[in-house]
Amino acid sequence: MKQWLSFIFIMISLIWLTPNLVHANKAVIQVDHLNIRSGPSLSHSIIGKAHNQETYHVVDQKSDWVQIQGNDKKGWVAGYLVKMKQDQSVTSKVDHLRVRSEPGVNSKVRGYLMKNEQATKQDQQGEWVLIKSDNASGWVHSDYLSTYTQKSPTENQTKTTSSLGEITVTAAILNVRSQRSTNSSIVAQVSKGKTFPYIAESNGWYQIKLDDSKTGWVAGWLVTNDDAGDSTASSSDVTKITLQFNGTNIRTGPSSNTTVLASGHKGEQFNVLGKENQWYKIQYQGKEAYVAGWIVKEETSSSDADAPAPSQPTKHGSGGLDGKTIVIDAGHGGFDPGAIGISGSYEKTLTLQTAQQLKRTLEQNGAQVIMTRSNDSYVSLSARTIISNASQADLFISVHYNSYPQSASATGISTYYYHSNAKSLASNIQSGMRRTTELRDRGIRHGDFHVLRNNNKPAVLLELGFLSNSKEEQTVSSANYQKKVSQGIKSGLENYFNKSS
């Protein structure tokens, strides 16, 4: 049997030309029932199946094998049975460039691109280009687009190509990008332990020189600055640091690969014990811990001694949620779009918009909020629960939108819980949303979801409407609906905490 399978693989490899695996960030499956294996060879066990035209994120590449990841699937597939793709970035030449639902001037306008705003090119039909951006996805006329090219260094960046020092890669595979953004195109990939000279540093990113004399940008939190060494002496003037973001990881060591001790909140302040590379060593609950230096605010010994030092997270408002901390989880993200609506809306975009509106609503009513993601990035299910479990939050809310293409008439909102300690929370939130949105009440249900099952906080997952229903998709995509549903969740939370006190 193995010999017969090997023969099939050889024959298929003669039919398909082996693609260039370098610099691709997506893999499109070219056959049905493709084996996903635990390692990069035929001798490794089969752990799943991939199917024709499914698209996956590329994690790693070894010889003729590609490691892919998407949804709950992760493993190795034969490289000659996939088509490697690299997203092309384009920018708008004008302000308020219309993004349309179909390739034509008479189709519905979904949104706009501003001048120099970057988007990802996904397809093209004649003079019309299908794009995806943070603000809108749809069709735009090619006359108003230009291929993205890296801008010249700003005045704040170095204009010399001489090396400022060296960095060493700490991630298994690190993307080298065309600009200082995770949304920019990938120009190369480098592996853990490789050292490169850098010629510029800006906003937590390093511009490095590759072996072929090309340059690109790498994330500073995935490398170490070899010239910094143990920089405790150079940071001796820094006495305290203040966290700038909710959900900041507090770790056991000076690396993003070390264990997360806890999740910090915006405004929390810690005494500095020292600095290693770009990480501050702090005093946390009587122990030594580390926080990334590029996401904190430093306070030196020369700072105003009369300035108040907050010992608790900064309050954003007052109301019935004072003193409560809530984790908001925007479902899907990055290469995982979630459900796709009738008109082409992405669940991942709507969940992020709704999560951000919910964050504002809860903070205005006194709550502290921790976001599992605050941009269009992929966060694994396990990472979402780790953020929740490591925090001091009171509860966890995962935001989703529903889809049932088999029945376009399906409508309504529902709330899922797994552990019995979250049933009351689910009931109160569902009641609050029902009153403010007036959508069909599908009730509360027991749901065996990873983010609920593996959560040690009272946790719920909200399905806030059906994108497979054209009318409901239009409703839930509006800012007005997202404000209403956020108010309903807030009311439900207030009732829940009042009953629990």
Report DSSP letters for 423-474, one per residue: HHHHHHHHHHHHHHH---EEEEEE---HHHHT-SS-EEEEEEEETTSHHHHH
Could you give the CA distance from residue 347 to residue 462 in angstroms, rounded to a whole number?
13
400: left (phi over 0), alpha (psi -120 to 50) or beta: beta
203: buried, middle or exposed (CB in 10 Å: 19+, 13-18, 0-12)? exposed
Quick check: 127 and 144 in contact, CB under 8 A?
no
Q: State the greatest distance between any 2 C-alpha atoms of the chain, in Å, as a whole number.
A: 79
Backbone angles phi, psi at 500, to 5 degrees: -85, -20
Could you give the CA distance from residue 235 to residue 123 in angstroms, rounded to a whole number?
50
Instruction: Look up residue 398 and give its two tokens.
Output: 């995962």
Could you give the CA distance from residue 306 to residue 298 in angstroms, rounded to a whole number?
16
Residue with tokens 């907050």: 310
Tell me 357's DSSP state: H
Report long-range pairs for 384-389 (Cβ below 8 Å, ≥24 apart).
384/329, 384/451, 385/450, 385/451, 385/454, 385/455, 386/260, 387/247, 387/263, 387/327, 388/327, 388/329, 388/451, 388/455, 388/456, 388/457, 388/459, 389/454, 389/455, 389/456, 389/457
Q: What angle do CA 413, 418, 424 make, to 5 degrees?
A: 70
Quick check: 241 and 272 in contact, CB under 8 A?
yes
User: For residues 455-487, b (16+ Cβ closer than 10 Å) or e, as one string?
Assistant: bebbbbbbbbbbbbbeebbebbbeeebbbbbbb
Pairing verdict, β 248-251 and 279-284: unpaired
Instruction: Look up residue 127 and give its two tokens.
Output: 């003079």
Quick check: 178 and 172 in contact, CB under 8 A?
no
Q: Quick one: how far is CA 6 from the chain centroid?
A: 39
Could you give the CA distance from residue 316 to residue 161 in angstroms, rounded to a whole number?
44
Q: Which of 347, 463, 473, 494 is catalytic?
A: 463
- Does the annotation mark 472 as catalytic? no
Q: Which residues are catalytic?
A: 463
